[in-house]
Chain A
């Protein structure tokens, strides 16, 4: 398959009522000693039900902060965020507990952090169901173990499982209470390539067969092969999204077409790709011209004033 990259612009200008996750102008400010760190600077994001998306970005771009907010582990400083009908800014303590228990599943990067070390694999999976007072938890736990291809390992403790197996148990645990969405923060960060691929494949299976929305934060380039959509975050905002689709060529060959879009926020701002900016040496101001079906962007330098209305 070949990959064709096309750059297009696009973005949502209004809240999608049916979307599973809606973030509007999300802001998160941390105070550390005497410093204020603005981790999110008005981030917008929409995730539809059933999507498998990846959130990528450089270190410090705010992606883990976003995930913590979406996972109910942290609260934003400003903005709005709705997940599965829950307004995360307006949750009471009991609602937040219910949200964490029944609406989402969470997977961390550190394999040991996802599981209680003194419980077996099946017991770890049962644990969220225990919190919810579910009666059929053993059966469901065994089913989930089968889903993640760990049948036969149910009585093993985390210390007796490999990193990849631990993460698969973590995935099963995250699915225990039939959540609507699973958040995974660098789930393959500690795994090798082959194991990482297995984990992503499991997530993909879960997404496809159980129709669970999966949001993965990752540095791993492999994630791109597994997701339909990649959202890039830069400087606390969504900068671009890449959509992938498979197309069939004239010869019947399949090729994946990745279309990268700049994200336009509700007030019309967008981030130009950095390589474009560097290439054209764009700085401070740019000149815009409007054509019937596109907008031109010119650097503010002599010789680049075509189409300028000098009246």
Chain B
């Protein structure tokens, strides 16, 4: 495989009109993206008093349960149940089997909510899990939320998270508004360890529901009592919109932004909805972050990078790096925001990167030889990158952060990696 040939098949980000137009680097991929089923599992696993029932092939059900059996995800007794489809079910539908399994589940366990998850096969043959969920809900008097996770309609696991989170809307009841907030889209770590939580706590603001990060079914039921929803990840945007429409709860997008200006804007908007003055601590943190940006700029100017996958929002983070004088050579993503878009436009005004679909690291090895980036952001083999003179930027530590702490940790890692890349360049030259 020749790097030049691969690059010649890539599209420039500026030439892509729809997400569908983003090309796969090669026709065969490895490891490929995760599927929405895994996304749904990741979202549901941390909701207390709830369980999931996955309907699919042995593979889908086996891999989902075996992942949750990891102690990190709940251990052997994790509340993940399965119904395995066979040829008979494909021919005649799996309704009866699901009904039987649901009865078994309810006779042995007492979940307050069940997420009924359908996978590729059920969606192809048209099993109506929405209707089944509605029936079970009435029959057993608990919440039963249908979640659709067919992978052939999406590029990765993100829609699975979004679908599971959005499905929670129907569990919520209208409530009198209080002074608290909900955190929507808390996928990594605990909200209580973030800067944003610290600032809100000092301001006397109470956190109601953090979905999906460790909330309970009762917290979901009463989530409409919050004064404002904070959307910390785009996967919860549909839920936030739904709650605004159903209960009038406003929302603020406070994702894992890297640029101090974006974070400051989110803080300002949030405290506006809370009808409270912006704490002086936020002003101080903003000032410190702006200073760090100024200090880091000289060492990051003209640093070339390939963007893989990070816990930060792709376009905001890339726009931030471009604003630092860095040069994006290739961005791997499956998303394309609707144009005009603030961050996308900024990237295109100041750089001209290629774009390909993510999660296909095998052929990238040949691309590195041609593009010769200084940095790679995302999951890759660090040693292999070093051999090619590339430094790996690790941003996973930022996944449990929100606020200016993200700017600080990201800049610290970028400058470290840029310095390492220069050393590697010297070593290779000698």
Question: Does A pair with B?
Answer: no
- Chain B residues in the interface with A (C-beta under 8 A): none
